[in-house]
């Protein structure tokens, strides 16, 4: 069995999601190849070639693949599919955009958001916002899947490097063109890979409060900032910080939910965190039902005190 993993990367660097997808692919058994498709993405290919469990890297470096638009990348993956038994991508927004297109062109029913690999054709995936887990067997000859990165460890980085081969570039279907990106950009750790996440809900009441109340604690802890859907809908923070069923699905070591009630769709995004802390002034908030440590308090008092206490302990 040979598996092709579509890399998640920013051309000059490889995202950790790729290392996690590689380890998921390894569990299916067989050789794992990584496809790095982009423009000026040689550095990302070199990083992929150092991942444990990878046999070979395919580099598709072409201006038509800049910004990884679904139509040309899917065409490229389909052109390479003949040599593979399975095609796999992390379930990032990019993987979710591209892989169903690949699956349809190959007449394959994709298995989305796999959380456990039980065999080469047997997979577990969450349905109903993770309230139910479905185990499915694929009857398609070739498998197409996306994997939830928070469910798999990252493949190790090794000193040894594997061969990098150039892939033939397929013709761009030219059904879309890139206009612009507005990336939030932040000095803080990335939400999906952060060890600690400090998350805020509608109770924060403004964008300013995210910065003045939540951010100092997050920065003191070296944490990423997350948010509930309500806080994003209200415009307090940008969309890429949303944690939940249809936002980011994360499993940090410590998740601190501040002023988040705990709707089903939010819990779907964070309930696999190792330790959950909830700070909420409503003692009946559903978030307390999943929290390891609950503090019934007004976040506007408790969060600054949390910050001050941690600052003091860290000095000690």
Partner 1 sequence: MKVVVAVKRVADPNVKVRALADGSGVDLANVKMTMNPFDEIAVEEAVRLKEAGHATEIVVVSVGPEKSAETLRTALAMGADRGLLVRSDAVVEPLAVAKILKAVAETEKPDLIIVGKQAIDDDANQTGQMLAALLGWGQGTFASKIAIGGAAIEVTREVDGGLQTVNLPLPALVTADLRLNEPRYASLPNIMKAKKKPIDEKTPADYGVAVEPRLTVVRVHEPATRKAGIKVGSVAELVDKLRTEAGVL
Cα dihedral across residues 85, 90, 94, 96: positive or negative: positive
Window 138-177: residues binding partner 1 (CB under 8 A): 138-140, 173, 175-177
Element at 77 (helix H, strand E):
helix 70-80
HSE, CB side, 13 Å, CA atoms: give it for residue 93: 10
184 binds partner 1 (CB under 8 A): yes
Annotated ligand binding at 263? The verdict is: yes
Window 71-100: residues binding partner 1 (CB under 8 A): 71, 74, 92-94, 96-100
Annotated ligand binding at 260? The verdict is: yes
Element at 230 (helix H, strand E):
helix 229-233
- Min dist. Cβ of residue 55 to partner 1 (A): 27
Residue with tokens 């197409």: 144
**Among 83, 168, 313, 315, contact with partner 1 (rule: CB under 8 A):** 313
Secondary structure class of 278 (helix, strand, coil): strand
Report yes or no: 118 and 28 within 8 Å, Cβ to Cβ. Answer: no
Chain center to CA of 160: 27
Choose among 25, 304, 280, 303: nearest CA to 152: 25
**Among 79, 202, 238, 300, contact with partner 1 (rule: CB under 8 A):** 238
**Among 82, 178, 187, 315, contact with partner 1 (rule: CB under 8 A):** 178
**Which stretch, 26-34, 154-162, 197-205, 233-241, contacts partner 1 (CB under 8 A)?**
233-241
Annotated ligand binding at 131? The verdict is: no
Structure tokens at 64: 């038509």
**Helix H segments across 236-298?**
264-270
Window 109-138: residues binding partner 1 (CB under 8 A): 109-113, 122, 126-138
Residue 161 or 300 with smaller CB distance to partner 1: 300
Annotated ligand binding at 228? The verdict is: yes
265 binds partner 1 (CB under 8 A): yes
210 binds partner 1 (CB under 8 A): no
Window 14-73: residues binding partner 1 (CB under 8 A): 67, 69-71
201 binds partner 1 (CB under 8 A): no
Annotated ligand binding at 243? The verdict is: yes
Annotated ligand binding at 188? The verdict is: no
221 binds partner 1 (CB under 8 A): yes
**Among 240, 251, 281, 300, contact with partner 1 (rule: CB under 8 A):** 240
Residue 56 or 188 with smaller CB distance to partner 1: 188
233 binds partner 1 (CB under 8 A): yes
302 binds partner 1 (CB under 8 A): yes
For residue 193, give Cα distances in angstroms to 37, 253, 254, 273, 277: 22, 10, 12, 12, 18
315 binds partner 1 (CB under 8 A): no
Choose among 4, 46, 38, 44: nearest CA to 21: 4
List, in order, residues 6 or more apart from 299 with CB less than 8 Å away. Answer: 200, 203, 204, 213, 258, 259, 279, 280, 281
Strands 254-258 and 275-280: parallel
Binding site members for FAD: 202, 228-229, 242-246, 259-266, 280
Task: Could you list the residues known to form a binding site, using ranges.
Answer: 202, 228-229, 242-246, 259-266, 280
């Amino acid at each position: 069995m040979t598996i092709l993993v579509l890399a998640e990367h920013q051309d000059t660097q490889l995202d950790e999601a790729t290392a996690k997808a590689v380890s998921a692919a390894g569990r299916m058994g067989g050789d794992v190849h990584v496809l790095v498709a982009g423009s000026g993405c040689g550095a990302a290919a070199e990083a992929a070639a150092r991942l444990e469990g990878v046999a070979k890297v395919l580099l598709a470096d072409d201006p038509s693949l800049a910004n990884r638009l679904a139509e040309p990348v899917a065409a490229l993956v389909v052109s390479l599919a003949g040599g593979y038994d399975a095609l796999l991508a992390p379930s990032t927004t990019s993987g979710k955009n591209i892989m169903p297109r690949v699956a349809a062109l190959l007449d394959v029913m994709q298995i989305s958001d796999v959380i456990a690999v039980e065999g080469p054709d047997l997979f577990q995936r969450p349905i109903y916002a993770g309230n139910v887990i479905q185990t499915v067997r694929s009857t398609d000859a070739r498998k197409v899947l996306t994997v939830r990165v928070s469910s798999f460890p990252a493949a190790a980085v090794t000193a040894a490097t594997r061969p990098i081969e150039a892939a033939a570039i397929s013709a761009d279907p030219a059904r879309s063109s890139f206009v612009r990106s507005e990336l939030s950009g932040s000095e803080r750790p990335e939400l999906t890979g952060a060890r600690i996440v400090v998350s805020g809900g509608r109770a924060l009441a403004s964008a300013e409060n995210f910065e003045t109340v939540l951010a100092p604690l997050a920065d003191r802890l070296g944490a990423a900032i997350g948010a509930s859907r309500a806080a994003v809908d209200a415009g307090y923070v940008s969309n890429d910080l949303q944690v939940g069923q249809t936002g980011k699905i994360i499993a940090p070591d410590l998740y601190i939910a501040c002023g988040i009630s705990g709707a089903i769709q939010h819990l779907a995004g964070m309930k696999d965190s190792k330790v959950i802390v909830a700070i909420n002034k409503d003692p009946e908030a559903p978030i307390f039902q999943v929290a390891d440590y609950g503090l019934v308090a007004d976040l506007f008092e408790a969060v600054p005190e949390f910050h001050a206490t941690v600052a003091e302990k860290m000095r000690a």
